[in-house]
């Protein structure tokens, strides 16, 4: 079994070692998938951070007696984006 961290960090070396065993690793495809994974992870973290910031503003608005319905809707939309990232 290959260690995912080693595979990411030492992709060329892993491909060479596998080639010595008769397996051709599609390095370009794997690198593209890794780049996409990083993009999705970054997007997810940004959405989580935005949701947390807006959730705090809901608490402040609620304490001030303001209408929080629009803020709740915004946080709900962020939750939908976070749960269903674009996979294109």
Specify the pLDDT at position 29.
95
88 in a domain, yes or no? Answer: no
36 in a domain, yes or no? Answer: yes
Specify the pLDDT at position 27.
94
Cα–Cα distances (Å) from 60 to 17, 30, 55, 77, 88, in that order, read: 57, 45, 9, 20, 37
Specify the pLDDT at position 54.
86
- Better pLDDT: 66 or 16: 16
d(C-alpha 49, C-alpha 18), whole Å: 40
Give residue-wise pLDDT tens across range 35-85. 999 999 999 899 889 888 888 888 888 888 888 888 888 887 777 766 665
**CATH code for the domain of 44:** 1.10.287.40
Specify the pLDDT at position 82.
62
87 pLDDT above the threshold of 70 = no
Structurally, how many domains does the chain consist of? Answer: 1
Specify the pLDDT at position 26.
94
- State which residues form the domain around 48: 4-83
pTM: 0.66
Ordered DSSP codes for 15-35: HHHHHHTT----HHHHHHHHH
Q: If DSSP codes are grouped into helix, strand and coil, which group holds residue 9?
A: helix
Cα–Cα distances (Å) from 30 to 9, 38, 74, 83, 85, in that order, read: 12, 12, 36, 24, 20
9 in a domain, yes or no? Answer: yes
């Amino acid at each position: 079994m290959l260690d995912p961290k080693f595979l990411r960090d030492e992709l060329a070396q892993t491909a060479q070692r596998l080639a010595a065993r008769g397996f051709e690793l599609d390095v370009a495809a794997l690198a593209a998938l890794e780049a996409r994974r990083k993009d999705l992870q970054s997007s997810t973290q940004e959405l989580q951070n935005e949701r947390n910031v807006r959730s705090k503003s809901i608490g402040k608005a609620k304490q001030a007696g303001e209408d929080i319905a629009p803020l709740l809707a915004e946080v709900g939309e962020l939750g939908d984006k976070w749960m269903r990232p674009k996979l294109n």
